[in-house]
Amino acid sequence: MQVLHLVTSEEIFFTQQIDTLERKGVDTTVLVVPGADQIDGDMGSGRGVAEYLQFLPKVRQELRSGDYDLIHANYGLTAPYAITQFRLPVVLTLWGSDVVGFDGAVTKACAWRCDAITVRSEEMRDLLGRDAHILPSGIDLERFEPMDRREACERVGWDPDRKHVLFPYSPDYERKNYPLAKRVTERTRDRLEATDDEIELQTISGVPHERVPIFMNAADALLLTSRHEGSPNTVKEAMACNLPVVSTDVGDVRTRLRDVSPSGVGTTEDELVDELVAVLESESRSNGRDAVREVSWDRIGDRILDIYESVLSADESEVAG
C-alpha cells in the first residue's frame, strides 16, 4: 500500500505515526507545507498565503510522479490540497485546533469530500459536526516508563527535596496558557503555606523528545492549562510514567483520567488549585500507565490500517459498481 501524507509540520507524534505505519508495511511519502515557524509545535505559526500557495504545485507534481493508493491529509489546512484531485480516496486526520476558528472553517468546508475522518476526541467530533473515527495519537510505552524520581531529579538538575510542577511547554506558547499555570501554582503554594523554593513551576522547551520522560519522572505533577486540545500527548506520556496530571477540561483528557488516581480535571481556576493541592499532598505516583496501554503506537497503527483498508475496499466497490 502506497500512501501520500500531507502535513503542516512534522510533529513528534506525526513522525512516530509514520514510523509505525512503515513498520507495518505501508510505503509512505510525506509532503510538508513550507515555511513553518513554530513555538513548541504551534500549528501554522509564521506562515502566510504565499507558503500555502507554494504547496499546491508540490502536491500535484508528486501525484503525477507517484503511484499512490490513497492520500492521508494530516491537520485540516492540508485538506484542500488532498481534495483538489478526484482519483484517490482521502483520509483526513484532525489534531485539535483545526476544528475551531479559521482553521475549523476550512476543515468543515472540505470534510464532506473526504472518505474517512479521524479526530482525537468526542468533543472534536461534536465540533466538526460530522461522523468521524475517534483515534487519539499514540505514545511510545518503551520510551515513556516509570523510573526512580531522585535519579531523574539528579539527571535534570532539580532538587529532589522540593516539589516540582511541570508545565511541559514554553511559556511563550499562547494556546497552552502559561499565565493560568503560574496563577494556579502560586495559589497552591499559598494553600500549602509553601515558599517558591518548596514548590517550583518548571517549564521545558526545545528538549529532545527522548529526554522528556526524565523530566516527567522528576516531577511531582504535570499541569496542563490549555485553552483547547484534541488528545494531548503530554497527558498520555505523563500517565505512562505514572506522573499525576492536573488539567483543564479539554479534548479527551477527562476520559483519559477517569480511572487514574491521583490526578484531576478542573473547569475553573479554583478547581485546578484544589486538584493540584490534592495531588501534591498525596505525595504518590499515579496508576496512569495501566490506563494508557490502549493507546500504544502499535494498537493505533493497527486502527489506522483498518481505516485505510476500509476506505480502499469502499473505493473498489464504487469502481466495480
Q: How far apart are CA 294 and CA 114, in angstroms?
A: 27
Domain co-membership, 13 together with 65: yes
Contact yes or no for 137/299 (Cβ under 8 A) = no
Higher pLDDT, 318 or 48: 48
Domain co-membership, 102 together with 160: no
How many percent of the chain have pLDDT more than 90? 81
How many percent of the chain have pLDDT more than 70? 95
Query: Residue 206 has what pLDDT?
Result: 87
Q: Does 82 fall in a domain?
A: yes
Global pTM value: 0.84
Q: CATH no. for residue 190?
A: 3.40.50.2000
Q: Does 143 fall in a domain?
A: no
Range with the poorest average pLDDT among 70-79, 97-106, 302-311: 97-106
Q: What is the pLDDT of residues 13-69, one digit of tens each?
A: 999 999 999 999 999 999 999 986 554 444 445 677 888 889 999 999 999 999 999
Q: How far apart are CA 267 and CA 261, in angstroms?
A: 18
Q: What is the pLDDT of residues 192-239, one digit of tens each?
A: 999 988 999 999 988 999 999 999 999 999 999 999 888 899 999 999
**Cell numbers at 169, concatenated:** 511547554
For residue 317, is pLDDT > 90?
Answer: no
Q: Residue 284 is part of which domain span? A: 149-294
Domain count, the chain: 2
Cβ neighbours, 10 Å, residue 45: 17
For residue 83, is pLDDT > 50?
Answer: yes
